[in-house]
Structure 1
Amino acid sequence: MRELDTSLRDSFRQVSFQFRLMEIGPSPASKIEARIIGSDPQVLRDLATQVEDIFNADSGARNIRHDWRERTKDLLPQFNESQARRLGISKQDLADTLQMAFGGSAIGLFRDGTEMLPIVVRLPEEERVDFSTVQNLKLWSPALQTYVPIQQVVDDISLDWVEPLIQRQDRKRTLTVLADHDILGDETAASLFGRLRPQVEAIDLPVGYSIEWGGEYESSNDAQEALFSSLPMGYLFMFIITVFLFNSIRQPIVIWLTVPLAVIGVAIGLLATNSAFSFTALLGVLSLSGMVLKNGIVLMDQINIETHSGKDPYQAVVDSAISRVRPVSMAALTTILGMMPLVFDAFFGSMAVTIMFGLGFATVLTLVIVPVLYALFYRIKPSEA
């Protein structure tokens, strides 16, 4: 890809090309998409030019383009309505004649075995490529019952720029400026988007025009919105279960306070492996919270057993932490080893790194932070002896 990136830029300077890594899951047209919404095509193109200038000014942006592409030239006949009515000729008659002469009109189908081939009538090629042929075209006049020259209903033919492709979203004209990050570099699309977004949103938009963001940003937000819509209720039920389990409020709070601290291990793992915090990594964090809770529940239950056996509270906490070292560590180790094959997977790699490093650090949290928090909440201190 590096060789192609260099050779294509040198050999084909006006060609638009794009490199993409294999992806599993939603894959938008480009990682960064700025949708400009409005009514006037010329204003949309002017705003798109400003957005493209911002993208081009950033050295990390690649494959900058928009989905309306370039304008094309069309020959537009100026139809004389009053004269055409006198001759009994409509705009459709003129359009059909021009289509037949230069594009071709289907007049039937030819069956060749199981295939249906259209029968098209049109002028010979040497006449189609020469637009002066239009001067010799004639239209049938129902009023005069004869053919009349096309000049009788066409005052003039002008050459003008037109939009060959107009994209719409929600029935509104939408021009999308697209860009990608350098997939051969170390920068992610999210970091590039973070730099470009404030500059684009600072553009002074006319009344009735707006900018929306698509690409990876939209896909990620849609996925997270679907996920987080039910997440609070799930965590609420988990907390209620832990309250019923211990018949207490303080003990579940001690366990739950260790869950956010697992993010420290996650951050270290992602930085050490140069992995992105993708959607699968987010799923890994959610899974990790359940594992941390499980380890905390096991230790808390052991503390209660030791305390109810008649031990000194301080000694009960210490003995519980020591006795849980082996089962908690072995459970974490087996999970980490089970995740190792996924580390090199293109889709689940970030999730595996998140769970491995987060769970390894969470083991330390369970054996150290939970006893400390328990002692603080219940004001347990060493005995004088």
Structure 2
Amino acid sequence: LVFGPYSPWPVAFRVMGPSLEKDRAIATQVQATMLANPHTRQVNQDWGERAPTAHFVLDQARLQLIGLSSHEAAEQIQFLLTGAPVTQVREDIRTAEVIARSAGTDRLDPSKLNDMTLMNHWGKAVPLSQIGHIEIRTEEPILKRRDRVPTITVESDIDESLQPPQVSAEIEKAIQPIIASLHESYKIETGGNIEESEKANKALSVVFPAMIVLMLTVIIFQVRSFSAMFMVVLTAPLGLAGVVPTLLLFHQPFGFNAILGLIALAGILMRNTLILIGQIKTNQEEGLDSYHAVVEATIQRSRPVVLTALAAVLAFIPLTFSVFWGSMAFTLIGGTAVGTVLTLLFLPAIYSIWFGVKPTAVPSDETQAVLVSP
């Protein structure tokens, strides 16, 4: 797991197509739509703005006259501008390469590029202006490809009071006319937090079947009854009654981390259910009838279960300040608090309904004394 947000830009849309010019035009339309949304911040394109670049156009006829090939001339120009390692300097255990290139005043000043000199095979210096010229063109500073297709990502931050899925849905609806007008070789994909969350959820869903089978196996070995196992599983979703309002109240996303918290929460609630069912069986083995076994088990186990839940809730509070683990902490806090209370109410009721437990009268102490007296 990466300790940080899913993506540096919560909202992102990828424009993909074979033509760079067309991709840039479509991305500009998408960017304008995102700028029109009041909830976006710092809308940009990952290719950046076009930048001027210098291109050396060599005259092949003149190169032949001075005895140089295009490859040799390009190597010398690269040596002058970029440099090449000529030796190494060693200091203690570190080794550094020495790069040779032209002086900074010559290679960094565009007006002096034509004055650079190349050497031919006879050792004669030839100014670059005699074998070609420089053209200034505007080009993309960065070219990115996805599946070998040129791809521009239009991305933005969002208002802190909103969640990425909400803003992405608004923008996706607004760019539908753009998508409808695209040629079949061009497309717009949704990226950002939504895509990263889907990837994580898909990876988690692979182990879900094995996890469920293992969980049911452990439960059936403990309760040794399919009816009791079914009741244990029924208490797992009770935590949602606390998770949903907690996430809404604190504006937390229901993403990958919240799902992890929900899985852990289901285990916590089912553990409490197993404790209660175990206590009911213990009371029945000690001679109590089913009704009073259920009542006494709920009373006996309510205090330790509530105190354990309270300790867990307090322990999760520091995690609520984490950018990465915050949603999971809020999920566990709300779900544990509400789910524990509901379990203490729900399980005795469903147990009594499932097994047909009816209230029975217990003789008072005075009645018992009369019954046993001669």
- Provide TM-score, normalisation by structure 1: 0.75
Aligned twin of 1:336? 313
Q: Name the counterpart of 2:29.
A: 50
Q: Is the Cα contact below 8 Å between 2:252 and 2:327 reproduced in 1?
A: yes
1:187 aligned to which of 144, 154, 162: 162
What are the Cα deviations for residues 305-355 of structure 1, in whole angstroms up to 9, with x where unaligned? Answer: 344555544443333323332232222223233334444445444333322
- 8 Å CA contact retained: 1:137, 1:150: yes
- Residues 1:111 and 1:367: Cα distance change in structure 2 (over 3 Å): closer
- Alignment counterpart, residue 201 of structure 2, candidates 224, 237, 241: 224
Contact 1:37 1:211 survives alignment (8 Å): yes
**C-alpha separation in 2, matches of 1:359 and 1:160:** 63
Structure 1, unpaired ranges of 5+ = 1-22
Partner Cα separation in structure 1 for residue 336 and residue 124 of structure 2: 89
Distance 1:150 1:376 in 2: 95
1:104 Cα deviation after fit: 6.9
TM superposition shift of 1:263? 0.8
For residue 12 of structure 2, give the secondary structure of its aligned residue in structure 1: strand
Letter in structure 1 aligned against 2:27: A
Corresponding residue number in structure 2 for 1:118: 99
- 8 Å CA contact retained: 1:303, 1:320: yes
Residue 287 in 1 paired to residue 268 in 2?
no
- 2:298 pairs with 277, 298, 321, which one? 321
Aligned-partner residue type, residue 196 of structure 1: I
1:57-96 aligned within 5 A: 57-74=36-53, 76=55, 89-96=68-75
Alignment of 1:1-385 (within 5 A): 24-25=3-4, 28-74=7-53, 76=55, 89-96=68-75, 103=81, 108=86, 116-121=97-102, 125=106, 129-130=110-111, 134=114, 159-183=136-160, 186-200=161-175, 203-204=179-180, 205-308=182-285, 311-382=288-359
Amino acid aligned to 1:162: E
Retained in 2: the 8 A contact 1:30–1:178?
A: yes
CA distance in 2, matches of 1:222, 1:368: 38
Please report the RMSD computed on the Cα atoms of aligned residues, expressed in angstroms: 3.9
1:10 is aligned to none
Say which SS state the counterpart of residue 177 (structure 1) adopts.
Answer: strand
2: CA distance, partners of 1:375 / 1:353: 33
Aligned residues: 356
Structure 2: distance between partners of 1:209 and 1:360: 50
Distance in structure 2 (CA, Å) of the matches to 1:192 and 1:349: 20
Question: Secondary structure at 1:118's aligned position in 2?
Answer: strand
Worse-superposed segment, 273-282 or 350-359? 273-282
CA contact (8 A) 1:106 1:121 kept: no
Tell me the equivalent position of 1:15: none
CA shift in 2, pair 1:119/1:376, >3 Å: same
Give yes or no for contact 1:100–1:122 (8 Å, CA) kept in 2: no
Deviation at 1:56, TM superposition (A): 0.7
Q: CA deviation at 1:77?
A: 5.8
Alpha-carbon distance, 1:362 to partner: 1.7
User: Does the 8 Å CA contact 1:105/1:122 hold for their aligned counterparts?
Assistant: no
Instruction: Output the CA distance in 2 between the equivalents of 1:319 and 1:127.
Output: 86
Please tell me whether the aligned partners of residues 36 and 210 of structure 1 are also in contact (alpha carbons under 8 angstroms).
Answer: yes
Query: Sequence identity of aligned pairs in percent?
Result: 29
1:225-278 Cα distance to aligned partner (Å, 9 max, x none): 333321331122111222232222121111211111211111222334444435
CA contact (8 A) 2:162 2:251 kept: no
Query: Alpha carbons of 1:243 and 1:201: their partners in 2 closer, same or farther (altered >3 Å)?
Result: farther
How far apart in 2 are the matches of 1:337 and 1:104? 59
Alignment correspondent of 2:368: none
What does the per-residue CA deviation read over 1:166-188, in whole Å, with 9 as the maximum and x for residues that have no partner?
122344322221111134xx223
Distance 2:322 2:57 in 1: 62
Alignment-derived partner of residue 13 in structure 1: none
The answer to whether the 8 A contact 1:104-1:122 is kept is no
Give 2:247's aligned amino acid. L
Change (3 A) 1:275 1:106: closer
CA distance in 2 between partners of 1:93 and 1:294 (Å): 76
Tell whether the 8 Å contact from 2:34 to 2:171 is kept in structure 1 after alignment: yes
**Which sections of structure 2, spanning at least 5 residues, go unmatched?**
363-374
Is the contact made by 1:51 and 1:177 (CA closer than 8 Å) also made in structure 2? yes
